[in-house]
Amino acid sequence: MTYRLLRSEGAYPYQVVDQAGLPHSEMTLYACLSERYLSPRSALAYTREIVKYASWISDNSIARRQCWTLVAPPDAVRSALSYFLTVEMKCVEVLGSDPLGFETRKIIPTLNTTRNLEMLLAALRSFYSVLIKNQRYSYANPLEGDEARELIDGERQRARDRFIQEHGRPPMHPDSGVDDVKRQRQSAAYFRLRNDEWIPEYIDDPSLFAKVLAAGEEWGWSLREIGIAKLLFDSGCRIHEACALTMGDWLDSQFQRSFRSINKGSHGIRAKKLFITDRTVKILQSYVSGQRSLLDPYSRRLPDFELMEKCELDKIPLFITTQKTALAPDHFRRNFWHPALKASGIQLRPHQCRHWFVTMGLNDIHQCAKSDEELLRLRGEFRELLAWRSDMLPVYDQARTRHNLPELAAKLQERIEEQHDRAVAELRERKISATETKKTEGQRLLEEMLKS
C-alpha cells in the first residue's frame, strides 16, 4: 500500500493518502503541522522521508506478518526500524549505551548501504515528537532513549549546581564570553549513526567557476541561469537562498552589489547580506530589463522597479519562470543545472559552489595574512560574511588538512627517497673504499714477497 503526498486547499494544505485515496490521519497531521516547528523546506523533506518509509512498512511482507505499523508502541516501532536498517539498508546494528546510562543502538552503514539515513532518523524523531505534542501518540518518543530527557536535564542541573557552588552565582550565557563554560551536546537519540561526523568538501580548483559558466553557455543558459550561477560562486550562498531573492532584497544597494538574504534556519527573515561583483550586477540588470520583463505581468523593467515602494518590491521575486511564478530550487537543478553540467562531463551540485567559495576564501586568507593576529581577524571577518550561526572554520580546517594529506604524504615520501638514495650512495662509497684499501694492502704484501 504505497502512500502519496498530495497538496490540497483549506485547513489542510497537505494530505497523505493510500492507494484507495483514503487519508492517513497521523501523516497528514504531521505534514500540515510540522512547519510550526521546522522550516518549510525541512518540513516537506521530512514528510517525504516518512511517507517513503511508511510505504515500505505497508508493502514489506515481513513487516505485515509482524503487524508493524508506523504508529505503534515504541518496541514495535524500534523493531520495524531495526529490521529496515539491517536487512533493507544493509547496516550493522550494535547495542550501545550513552554515557548517562540509557540504552542506544549504533548504526554503522556499509558499502552496500544505498541511502542517506541521517534524514530518515531525524524525520521519524520529529514525526513522533509532533504527534506527542498534539496528543496523537500516547507513548514516549521511540526514537529517543528511555528516560533520556530526564537524565540529560538532571546532568545539566548538576553541572549548573557545581558552578554555583564554586563561583557563588549562576553561569553567564556561553555567548557572553564571561565564563569559560562549554555546553556539551548531549543527544537523546536511540538510533545513532556511527562515524556520521559531517566533513565539508574542500574544492581547490580555481578554474571551476569558469568551467561551469562555459558548460552553461554551451548548453544554452539564459541570463537568468547565468545570473544564479554567478550568485552562487560570488557569494557562497545556498541555492534556495538565491531563488528566494526578491526585488526588495536588491533595493537596499540601489540594485548594485549587495542583497539582503534569508539564512539557514532564519525562517524567512533576511538575516545576512550577499555581495556580488560588478560583472554579476550587469548580468542581473540586463536580465531584469530584458528576459524578465518579457515574463513580468506588467512588463516592468529596472527603472520601473526603482520607482516602486519597498513593501511592494518585497513581494516580487527576482527570478521567475515562464509561468510568472518564483523559480524553485528543484526546478533550477533538474532542468538547467544538472543537464548543462552533465553534457560537459562535470559532476557538481549547486551546494558545492558554497564549499568552493569557502575553500577559495580560506586559501586567500592564509596566503595574505602577515601575522597570527591578522589571520585571526580575517578569519573572524570571513565567518561574519558567511553568517554562520556557529563557528564552522575548525570544521573546514579539518577538511583542508584531509585535502592536503596526499600532498603531505608525497613530500614526506620524496624526502624519505632522497635520504634513502644518500644512504645507499654512502654505503656504496664505503664499500668501494674498503675494496681499494684491501687491494692496496695485498699489493703491498706481494711487493714485500717479491723483494725478498
Q: Return d(Cα 84, Cα 106) in angstroms, integer.
A: 14
Strand duo 4-7 + 14-17: pairing: antiparallel
Beta-carbon neighbour count of residue 351 at 10 Å? 15
Cα 312 to Cα 175, 197, 307: the distances in Å are 37, 44, 11
Q: Return d(Cα 414, Cα 264) in angstroms, integer.
A: 44
Give the pLDDT band (50/70/90) at residue 439: low
Q: Which residue segments constitute the domains of the chain, with CATH numbers given?
A: 4-133 (no CATH), 208-358 (1.10.443.10)
Question: Which pLDDT belongs to residue 427?
Answer: 83
Strand duo 92-97 + 103-108: pairing: antiparallel
Over residues 222-276, the pLDDT tens digits come to 999 999 999 999 999 999 999 999 999 999 899 999 999 998 877 788 889 999 9
Radius of gyration of the chain, Cα coordinates, nearest whole angstrom: 31
Per the DSSP assignment, residues forming a β-bridge with 147 are none
Q: Could you tell me which of 392, 398, 370 has the C-alpha nearest to residue 380?
A: 392
Give the pLDDT band (50/70/90) at residue 180: low
Residue 183, helix vs strand vs coil: coil
Task: Name the grid cell of 221.
Answer: 543558459
The answer to whether residue 279 scores a pLDDT higher than 90 is yes
Over residues 402-417, the pLDDT tens digits come to 666 566 667 777 878 8
Q: What is the dihedral of CA 299, 305, 308, 310, to 10 degrees?
A: 130
Question: Which pLDDT belongs to residue 443?
Answer: 65
Task: Name the grid cell of 339.
Answer: 543537464
The answer to whether residue 438 scores a pLDDT higher than 60 is no
47: which residues sit within 8 A by CB, 6+ positions away? 5, 14, 16, 27, 30, 31, 34, 123
Amino acid letter, 87: V
Q: Return d(Cα 221, Cα 436) in angstroms, integer.
A: 77
Give the pLDDT band (50/70/90) at residue 96: confident
The answer to whether residue 97 scores a pLDDT higher than 90 is no
